[in-house]
């Protein structure tokens, strides 16, 4: 059993991670300002601090009190908000991450596992599938800020011996993803169909993404506690799916036939994305277990349960 601190532990990925950490017998503390996280996601077996990672003094007091051995840094802004307010995005994703790094060093944390973005960091791919060595040319403030924080992890590893793993995520979906944040097309499609609405599809719908189910992401985080030191690894499936295909899969799973509303392409959206996961398989011993069809069914069932 280890003492673990999770930033963003009331959010989509963070709360699923907290649940698994507790199931494995760890003692877990959560830091979340509930800006995008939700109190109903909180596991009552974890200690909760409603605090902001941009407040370094408050963060220091939490670290001093909890003395975590491992830190999972999941807290972040979100892509759409970053375009509207890049200053706020940089404050959360860069300054907040620096605070987490500095307090982890001060507390002699054994390791920090960083939830990074692969989908937003690389920009328009120069080759596919994208490897971890692909040039980083972000097209959104979110992509810039998330990757910038990874540089701070590398620098503090080199200068101060900080042990970390950066997990670069593809498009993650599953239970507890908030359709109102516009970050997850699966939850948005399910929510629209449940509410008898037509979802918007940006551009021609042929843009592709690599969709990975949240339970598989949690698996990668758990493995990174003991593997992948000072490495950056993709968490993805290596399977390319376009938006129209995804919408058809969701409609079929829900047995609903409904048109969508075409909309103009979104600023910063890349055309295609699919990730090479051979390094992650080799270093973490990780592979995704959940098929897209299975993950969609589980997501639909969870969203239906929330309406009861």
- Active site (catalytic) residues: 142
Cis before 129? omega within 30: yes
Residue 289, H or E segment = none
Whole-number Å distance between alpha carbons of 49 and 30? 6
- Region of 47 please: left (phi>0), alpha (psi -120 to 50) or beta: beta
C-alpha pair distances (Å), 123 with each of 181, 250, 267, 286: 21, 27, 12, 25
**3-state secondary structure labels for all residues of 45-103:** CCEEEECCCCCHHHHHHHHHHHCCCEEEECCCCCHHHHHHCHHHHHHHHHHHHHHHHHH
Helix (H, G, I), strand (E, B) or coil at 7: strand
Whole-number Å distance between alpha carbons of 82 and 235? 22
Helix (H, G, I), strand (E, B) or coil at 43: coil
* Nearest to 51, CA basis, from 117, 100, 115: 100
In eight-state DSSP terms, residue 168 is E
CB within 8 Å of 226: residues ≥ 6 apart: none
In eight-state DSSP terms, residue 130 is B
Whole-number Å distance between alpha carbons of 145 and 83? 12
């Amino acid at each position: 059993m280890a003492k673990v601190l999770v930033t963003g532990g009331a959010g989509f990925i963070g709360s699923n991670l907290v649940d698994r950490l507790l199931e494995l017998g760890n003692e877990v503390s959560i830091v979340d300002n509930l800006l995008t996280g939700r109190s109903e996601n909180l596991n009552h077996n974890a200690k909760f601090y409603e605090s902001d990672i941009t407040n370094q003094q408050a963060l220091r007091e939490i670290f001093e009190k909890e003395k975590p051995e491992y830190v999972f840094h999941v807290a972040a802004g979100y892509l759409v908000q970053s375009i509207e307010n890049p200053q706020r995005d940089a404050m959360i994703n860069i300054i907040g991450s620096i605070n987490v790094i500095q307090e982890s060093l001060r507390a002699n944390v054994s390791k920090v596992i960083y939830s990074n973005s692969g989908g937003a960091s690389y920009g328009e791919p120069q080759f596919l599938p994208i490897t971890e060595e692909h040039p980083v040319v972000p097209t959104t403030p979110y992509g810039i800020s998330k990757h910038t924080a990874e540089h701070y992890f590398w620098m503090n590893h080199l200068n101060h011996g900080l042990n970390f793993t950066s997990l670069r995520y593809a498009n993650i979906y599953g239970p507890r993803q908030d359709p109102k944040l516009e970050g997850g097309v699966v939850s948005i499609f399910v929510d629209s169909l449940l509410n008898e609405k037509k979802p918007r599809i940006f551009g021609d719908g042929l843009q592709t993404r690599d969709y990975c189910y949240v339970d598989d992401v949690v698996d990668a985080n758990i493995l990174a506690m003991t593997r992948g030191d000072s490495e950056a690894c993709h968490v993805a499936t290596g399977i390319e799916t376009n938006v129209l295909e995804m919408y058809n899969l969701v409609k079929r799973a829900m047995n609903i036939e409904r048109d969508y509303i075409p909309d103009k392409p979104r600023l910063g959206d890349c055309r295609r994305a699919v990730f090479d996961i051979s390094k992650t398989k080799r270093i973490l011993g990780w592979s995704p277990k959940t098929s897209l069809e299975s993950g969609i069914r589980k997501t639909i069932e969870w969203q239906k349960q929330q309406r009861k």
